[in-house]
Structure 1
Amino acid sequence: MASLNYKHLHYFWTVAKSGAVARAGERLHLTAQTISGQISLFEESLGYKLFKRVGRRLELNDEGRMVFDYAERIFSLGEELEEALRLRPGGRALQLRVGVADAVPKAIAYLLLESALAMPDPIRIICREGKLDVLLADLAIHKLDIIIADSPMPPNVDVRGYHHLLGECDTSFFATPELARRYRKDFPRSFDGAPFLMPGEDAAVRPRLLRWFEREKIRPQISGEFDDGALLLAFGDAGAGIFAAPSAIAAQIRKQYGLVEIGRTDAIREQFYAISVERRLTHPAVLAIQSAARGNLLVGSTGSTSEEPPARRKAAAVAGGRRS
């Protein structure tokens, strides 16, 4: 047998974890044809077939399982080495690779990450924004240290990971001064028929908003739906409708955009999580983020994901300011 080709071993390991060549190709940024060719060369060099096809999915055979067990240990050690080098004292700047789910407001992401920049040791933060499923794929192959998301680890993904609640806060409603004057009185009933900008289907807060509308017996006029929170904010700033945002960034929205906070409710809780491959967080910058989040966001119990009945929750109008 020729010397072991570790690049081929890594391709094999990624395919085995993904369960499909196409999915592995997406993670490795290679075509499925290239991956298949490299796997064939690897099997030829070993003298064994490593996969069997079951329907449209690849499964490991006995030899494949043995090779996979060794690959797991080899690449786990490699990841530990990378982590040790990245965290070593007295070396280059500490590096934190963060994935930010696109449903997380940019201001919330900064609110959580700014504590890492305040650490005494130099740090370099590398941020990637994208869909949660794409970021989870990068987390699985250790391209990311953590993901900041507005929902826990999804139960139906083939990625090993753990979610850690950073904090939660109330939800506030914002509009231009003109719209606020029209709809602030008798909040939230005044929202019935009001123009409203909804977050996209990937946002965890969307179904909570819809349930709240139903409970309050209000039917706003949905003027637009946006996957991109920054685009939603731009439409809100232009006066296209009222929109919801975490109360933790209410002061920033008022100051930066001159928008008015019409009201807020604790019936809709926005929660934010760090998702990692570790059961216990160990990265110094992530620990700093977790600690600071307790001051920047109101932390609740990890089990409090459902809204309480209206009798136990309140909505209140908020005195607003003028556009600067």
Structure 2
Amino acid sequence: MWQRCAYFTVLAVLYGLFFYMANMSFASLPKSKKVALTTLGVVTAGGAGLATMLHQSVKASDLELHPPNYPWTHGGPLSSLDHASVRRGYQVYKQVCSACHSMEYLAFRNLVDVSHTEAEVKVIAEECEVVDGPDESGEMFTRPGKLSDYFPKPYSNPEAARAANNGALPPDLSYIVNARHGGEDYVFSLLTGYCEPPGGVQMKEGLYYNPYFPGQAIGMAPPIYNEVLEFEDGTPATMSQVAKDVCTFLRWAAEPEHDQRKRMGLKLLMGSAILIPLLYYLKRHRWSVMKSRKIAYRPPSK
């Protein structure tokens, strides 16, 4: 309540100061009044900033637990994604996450030469039934998926998704690591952060306690646990391993150019290491004659 009072007080002072300055030229004021007005403006601005910071510090959205920074293998400036982890992460999405979450901006062809071969992706796509049409008779029909098809949606529309999840709408995961503060750190912490609520906290039916989720009450049940699936390459499917692999997959999904961008950055650094000394040499030595040359005008004699 007092933050609101301070806010309106600051507004009133600023309005009065503006009205006073609008009716009198600042340059025509005596020095004492100039100093007083300047001091009043600084104090008012400082008070407004302090009130804003105090108001932001008690917002309920900041009460959730912030995720720690994890040492991702692709986190370095020149580090590439672990493509074996991307492959396992797609398996986690397909067997666990795709039951509720869509990835409507990702097509099967995007997996080619990233986590799977072209032949493997064709087999994966053909396992999906895609509604296509209309045919010659004007009817819709189903066909096996193709490389050009996008990942199938678990629900036909948002209303059906809400009805199947007690009113909660599962978000699309195509760009989820870019859409959440903390990126893959937040997603990893969310997936592994389910726990019992502290004493005195009562959870409504259908909600689960997660300290990393805004409001701490999330409608998604714990999706992963130890041995929730069996990886094709034999990697132990512990909770942390499953969460790590699906987060790596989601990082690639949100930023498919990740490796190419860092590769181009490395090439730029290598080229700059050759070009910058050459430009410095030209600037300091080859152009020194032009910089020190004196141009004088001599009018013709009559």
TM tier, smaller: under 0.3
TM-score scaled by length of structure 1 = 0.18
TM-score scaled by length of structure 2 = 0.19
Q: Which has the higher strand share?
A: 1
Q: Which has the higher helix share?
A: 2
Bigger Rg over Cα: 2
